[in-house]
Structure 1
Amino acid sequence: MKGALLIAGTTSDAGKSVVVAGLCRMLARRGVKVAPFKAQNMSNNSVVALDGGEIGRAQALQARACGLEPSVRFNPVLLKPGSDRRSQLVVRGKAIDTVGAKDYFRHRTQLRAIVAEELASLRAEFDVVICEGAGSPAEINLRATDLANMGLARAADLPVLLVGDIDRGGVLAHLFGTVAILEPEDQQLISGYIINKFRGDVDLLRPGIDQLTELTGRPTLGVIPFAEDLWIDAEDSLGTIADAPVGRSQPPLGKDWLTVAAIRLPRISNSTDVEALACEPGVSVRWVTDPSRLAGADLVVLPGSKSTVSDLEWLRHTGIAAALQSRAATGGPILGICGGYQMLARTIDDSVESTAGTVDGLGLLDLEIEFANPKILRRSTGHAQGYTAGVASPPYRETVGTRGIPVHGYEIHHGRVRVNGDRPWLILDGTPEGSVRGAIWGTHLHGALESDEFRRAFLRDVAAYAEADFVVADNVSVEQVRVTQLDLLADLMEKYLDLPALERLIDSGASVNLPTLRVSG
């Protein structure tokens, strides 16, 4: 096999990312030298790649599926929304501007050249490149600046498979309508369909699939069933729905559950940080937006934010800020990560992200934060400082802390700690980082909870504060959970896709003289 393919979707969250990851894993298991590529992503879920820049988390997972380290080559353009109208523009892993829709036009020539160069380089190095579209190619109002869908397919002459999510309803209309609304030259590259998240008897769907082929001249290459166990490494905030559980809860090993309330911020970033907790038996993680949900939780997580000052104001407006302060006063455990850590400070001086100047934080840590350029991007390793977990008022009891336990992760933030009057939580690359005050922990380090030994020790301390009969499993590996899900995706591709047709499409490229559909009116 030698070639490239674009996986597009009828909608956001149609399943493009998981199909690409599954195809990459399937091909890699067969010995094919394969790489992922997403020309442009819009997501606040990002990671720091081995080459020092940041890329979308989905592309990092797809790289893992290929057996590769994440690289900025796999996602050369990343947009990180900071508001409804403006996004940070990250090119080849580095933030270069903050843009609105109209500002974006002045970058398009440069970005097209970068995308073309990176894709050509990958195609020269790898046997197969599986590209992922963005949103939907049916957004014809954005066609002039499109870098990731039909703009990419036309420029690189890529065959396109269109994925539709049947769980949303109306999938056949979505597939037909997406093709029909495209201009004829774009339609020529749409080579077939994949239906995702199917439940039930596929024979009941077959007549519709056959009619879709008759109407459009394009085959359906597979119907992928709904997979209950696929949940880790969510692509973006569409998966962080208020009151929705994270993961698939497993029964506790002891008598008690540990309940985790993760605050669903409006501009949440790196929401996947809490997924490691959800891998543990007896840990129930749920996204919340109501202050009443904090009262019964054993742990509250304040996650990252792309707009720290704005989301801090939202906490005050919703009453969650007051609930967090009441919780802290009674010794209830709170964990702040990156932007969430910054919100726990006494003051935040932000002339970069919001340009709000100095604002009051929640005051739960003796911490002063100042935003500055350039953005800090680094992968870090180290260990946890020793600290004592107990309760805020008598009876006080000591438990085993996490002295010397290894931890690793990555940092993506403008905020700098100017004053830290609390005990540092971590030592990263020889430097103190984070804060501990009683049952309040904070760190800029994303992914720390994926360090298995560190996560177990942290949960033991949370259980001690909660006085819960909770037993931490000694055999949970977040990395193994991730690998298992990638293999499940690959198994689904192998079982439910027409692999000979897929291989022919990759080898031969887009079909020619496909029917052109017309939108009447």
Structure 2
Amino acid sequence: MKGALLVAGTTSDAGKSVVTAGICRWLARQGVRVAPYKAQNMSLNSFVTADGAEIGRAQAMQAQAAGLEPLADMNPILLKPGSDRRSQVVLMGRPLTDVDAMEYGALKDFLREKALESFERLRSAYDVVICEGAGSPAEINLRRGDIANMGLARAAGLPVVVVGDIDRGGVFAAFYGTVALLDREDQAHIAGFVVNKFRGAVELLEPGLDTLRGLTGREVYGVLPWLEGLWLDVEDSLALDNRPAVTGTPYGRQTLRVAVVRLPRVSNFTDLDALAGEPGVVVRFVTTPAELDDADLVVLPGSRATVADLAWLRSTGLADALVARELPVLGICGGYQMLAREIVDEVESGAGLVKGLGMLPVHVTFARDKRLARPTGEEYGQPVSAYEIHHGVATVEGGEPFLDGCRVGAVYGTTWHGALENDGFRRAFLTDVAARAGRDFVPAPATSFAALREARLDALGDLVERHLDTEALLRLIENGTGPVPFLPPGA
């Protein structure tokens, strides 16, 4: 078979990423050579390909679902916000420029051309390309310069299915409104809908689904049930709100409690997925000093705005709480830089010399060129493979080696993302942490994070196979959207 499909959504975090991954896994299991694609992604969770290109972490996950090595063409444009108004533009895996929201408009024509070139390369190399939209296609204020939603659908002739999160409520209005806000040419590409995150009896939805079909003249391709534990490799911090709340829950001495500081510009918090998948480890994201009190390990994750997030740590009192800790602290990338004695940043923030938390004997200088790499090494006698994405160059002036960084007592720092996905290293590190925290926790020797990720990708493929009209999806991918009615605004 040959064809392509765009998976759009009524909102951010509606489930576009996981539905795209599920369709990729389902097609790959049918022997179809399928590739994922997202023209433009705004995310602080990213990954480094084998040839040193930075792409969205969700597209790397979707590539794995398709049984492929991630490529820059799968996410040619990546926007990494550094503030409410400015973002770094990453083109084909390399930083292009930093722009504000208005300056970005001047780049749209150039970027659209590059995005379409990537799409055509994938379409030539694979049988099927499953594209993921961005945000909502009904963001009519942004339609003129759209690259990722209906602009892509019209330029490449793609059929579109719209995913809606019913758990938020208002999904029928969101479906209808999404279509009705589009012009006639855009509406012609909308083939139908997928209801996501449903809890309960599907029979109760049928009257609404029938009405939706009647009002829009479009298919409902299925209802995907709510499934716990599908948060790995999520695209943005909105998904953190859907993780189970654990504050105040009593745990025994065999449980290891991990508090992850939820920085305002937190990046690559997917580093913690491997810890959350470890039996006996409880991971929660925190924003106040009191939430650190019962933590055996505190993690300072990555940040796209290291100096600004360091100032936030000080304003909240978290900085003082971290400095006063005697139990383990782990800093990863931006978090590691915050643990340093001083930071010199003329690149990201332009703040110049800034005093760090002083918990590690490290001096950090921000370089204009971003380091993108897939390093390997050894720690605790265990092999470690990881990836690096950073402007900050750390000069270690003491302490003991720890991966590429250092440690002093119970404080650890590294620039390596993904290190905790290495099972042997993760078990050794958690054993060390447990001993320092006085816990009886013992890591489960059989836990494989790679197997856990594969199992979750299979679960996504199963959802598609069991709950969507796969025959109708195949026809849609191959033949495109058939004739559909136009919904005039206010009809």
- Provide the TM-score with structure 2 as the length reference: 0.98
Choose from 267, 281, 284 the match for 1:283.
Answer: 281
Query: What is the alpha-carbon distance in structure 2 between the residues aligned to residue 173 and residue 412 of structure 1?
Result: 41
Residue 489 of structure 2 corresponds to 519
1:93 aligns with 2:121: no
Cα distance, 1:245 vs structure 2: 4.7
CA contact (8 A) 1:240 1:264 kept: no
Paired residue secondary structure (1:36): strand
The whole-number CA distance in structure 1 between the counterparts of 2:443 and 2:122 is 43
Alignment of 1:253-292 (within 5 A): 255-292=253-290
Counterpart in the other structure of 2:192: 192
Q: CA deviation at 1:243?
A: 8.8
1:413 is matched with which residue?
Answer: 390
> In the alignment, which residue of structure 1 is the partner of 2:430?
459
Tell me, in whole angstroms, the C-alpha distance in 2 between the residues paired with 1:320 and 1:312: 10
Aligned-residue CA RMSD in angstroms?
1.5
Determine if the alignment matches structure 1 residue 335 to structure 2 residue 305: no
Partner of 1:234: 234
Distance 2:107 2:243 in 1: 39
Query: Can you list the C-alpha shifts for 1:340-385, whole angstroms capped at 9, x where unaligned?
Result: 000000100000000000000000011100001210000011111x
Q: Which amino acid aligns with 2:255?
A: W
Of the candidates 420, 440, 462, which is equivalent to residue 469 of structure 1?
A: 440
CA separation of 1:71/1:360 partners in 2, compared to 1, >3 Å: closer, same or farther?
A: same
**Which residue in 1 is equivalent to 2:371?**
376
Cα distance change of structure 1 residues 243 and 517 upon mapping to structure 2, 3 Å threshold: closer
How many angstroms apart in 2 are the aligned matches of 1:520 and 1:16?
A: 27
CA offsets 1:183-223 (integer angstroms, 9 cap, x no match): 11100000010000011111111011001111010010100
Residue matched to 2:458 = 487
Aligned counterpart, 1:104: 104
CA contact (8 A) 2:7 2:20 kept: yes
Shift of 1:160: 0.2
Q: d(CA) in 1 for partners of 2:282 and 2:149?
A: 38
Residue 223 (structure 2) aligns with: 223
> Is residue 501 of structure 1 aligned with residue 478 of structure 2?
no
Q: How does 1:292-331 map to 2 (within 5 A)?
A: 292-327=290-325, 331=326
| Residues 1:357 and 2:363 aligned together | no
Please say if residues 63 and 70 of structure 1, whose CA atoms lie closer than 8 Å, have aligned partners that are also in contact. yes
Q: Distance in 1 between matches of 2:263 and 2:58?
A: 20
Note if 1:367 corresponds to 2:362: yes
Structure 2: gaps spanning 5 or more residues: none
Verify the 8 A CA contact 1:345 1:363 in the aligned structure 2: yes
Offset of residue 242 of structure 1: 10
Task: Count how many residue pairs are aligned between Structure 1 and Structure 2.
Answer: 489
Q: Retained in 2: the 8 A contact 1:245–1:285?
A: no
- Look up the match of 1:348: 343
How many percent of aligned residue pairs carry the same amino acid?
Answer: 60
Per-residue CA deviations over 1:273-297 (Å, capped at 9, x if unaligned) read 1111111111000000011111110
- Is the contact made by 2:172 and 2:212 (CA closer than 8 Å) also made in structure 1? yes
Distance 1:424 1:357 in 2: 27
Q: CA deviation at 1:520?
A: 2.4
Q: How far apart, in 2, do the equivalents of 1:496 and 1:185 lie?
A: 30
Q: Distance in 2 between matches of 1:419 and 1:122?
A: 43
User: Which residue does the alignment assign to 1:398?
Assistant: none
Q: In 1, Cα distance between the equivalents of 2:306 and 2:287?
A: 16
Specify the SS of the correspondent of 2:401: coil
Separation (CA, whole Å) in 1 of partners of 2:464 and 2:286:
34
SS in 2 for 1:442: strand
| Residue 180 of structure 2 corresponds to residue 203 of structure 1 | no
Cα contact 2:59–2:74 (8 A) shared by 1: yes
Listed one character per residue, the Cα deviations across residues 326-348 of structure 1 (whole Å, up to 9, x for unaligned) are 11xxx210000000000000100
Amino acid in the other structure paired with 1:181: L
Per-residue CA deviation, residues 4-49 of structure 1 (Å, 9 max, x unaligned), is: 0000000000000000000000000110000000000000000001
1:109-133 deviations in whole A, cap 9, x for unaligned? 1111111111111111111000000
Deviation of residue 258 (structure 1)?
0.6
CA distance in 1, matches of 2:106, 2:149: 19
Distance in 2 separating the partners of 1:516 and 1:423: 67
In structure 2, distance between residues paired with 1:242 and 1:506 = 31
- Residues 263, 303 of structure 1: 8 Å contact kept: yes
Mapped partners of 1:420, 1:303: distance in 2: 22
Query: SS of the counterpart of 2:97?
Result: strand
- Secondary structure at 2:375 match in 1: strand
- State whether residues 245 and 287 of structure 1, in contact with CA within 8 Å, keep that contact through their aligned partners in structure 2: no
- In 2, Cα distance between the equivalents of 1:242 and 1:314? 24
What is the rounded CA distance, in whole Å, between the counterparts of 1:480 and 1:244 in structure 2?
Answer: 22
Q: Is the 8 A contact 1:20 1:36 kept in 2?
A: yes
Q: Aligned partners of 1:106 and 1:355: how far apart in 2? A: 24
User: Which of 412-421 and 176-185 deviates more?
Assistant: 412-421
TM-score normalized by the length of structure 1:
0.92
Quick one: distance in 2 between partners of 1:165 and 1:295?
Answer: 36
Which residue does 1:423 correspond to in 2? 400
Please state whether the residue corresponding to 1:424 is helix, strand or coil: strand
Q: Is the 8 A contact 1:245 1:284 kept in 2?
A: no
> What letter is aligned with 1:469?
D
Give 2:454's aligned amino acid. V
Distance, in Å, in 2 between the alignment partners of 1:53 and 1:2 is 28
Structure 1 residue 269, shift from structure 2 partner: 0.2
Amino acid corresponding to residue 406 of structure 1 in structure 2: P
- Counterpart residue number, 2:26: 26
CA distance in 2, matches of 1:482, 1:145: 36
Is contact 2:176–2:212 with CA below 8 Å preserved after alignment? yes
Structure 2 CA distance for partners of 1:372 and 1:242, relative to 1, 3 Å: farther
Whether contact under 8 Å (2:396, 2:406) holds in the other structure is no
Residues 407-428 of structure 1 show CA distances to partners (whole Å, capped at 9, x for unaligned) of: 11100000002343222212xx
Deviation string 1:137-157 (CA, Å, 9 cap, x unpaired) is 010100111100000000001
Q: 1:392 is matched with which residue? A: none
**Cα pair 1:271 1:304 within 8 Å, conserved:** yes
